[in-house]
Amino acid sequence: MSSRSEQFQTLVSRQPDNELFRFSLAQALESEGRPIDAIPHYEFCIAKKSDWMIPRILLGKILLQRGDRDAARPLLERALELAIEQHHEDPERELRALLADLGAQ
């Protein structure tokens, strides 16, 4: 039986410009403990849809886990702007906390 990431990789191979398949692949890779492999797929999603908040948050968190605070900060700041614009209160709270932690360190 194939893994979730293999299933989504097959879909991405067939439709490489489909951001929903890319997003699902990135999430599957993360759930399989392969966050680094998810990075280019989240980056693709962000490039394809400039107002898509969730891939920015998830990519920012991966970068934070890797210790790349300078790369994470603008992603999380833009995600916060989108959360406010789109009235997503839970992500807004989470992002404010993440950014406060970044500022405190």
CATH for 59: 1.25.40.10
104 pLDDT higher than 80: no
Give ∠ CA 2-19-5 in degrees, rounded to 5.
15
Nearest of 19, 24, 48, 46 to residue 6 by alpha carbon: 24
Q: Give residue 52's pLDDT.
A: 97
Asked if pLDDT for residue 55 goes beyond 80, the answer is yes
For residue 85, what pLDDT band results from cuts at 50, 70 and 90?
very high
Q: Whose structure tokens read 């890779």?
A: 29
Percent of the chain with pLDDT over 90: 94
Q: What total number of domains does the chain contain?
A: 1
Predicted local confidence at residue 2, as pLDDT: 75
Whether pLDDT at 105 is above 60: no
Domain that holds residue 88: 4-104
**Mean pLDDT, the chain, as a whole number?**
95
Q: Measured between alpha carbons, how far is 16 from 88 in angstroms, rounded to an integer?
A: 29
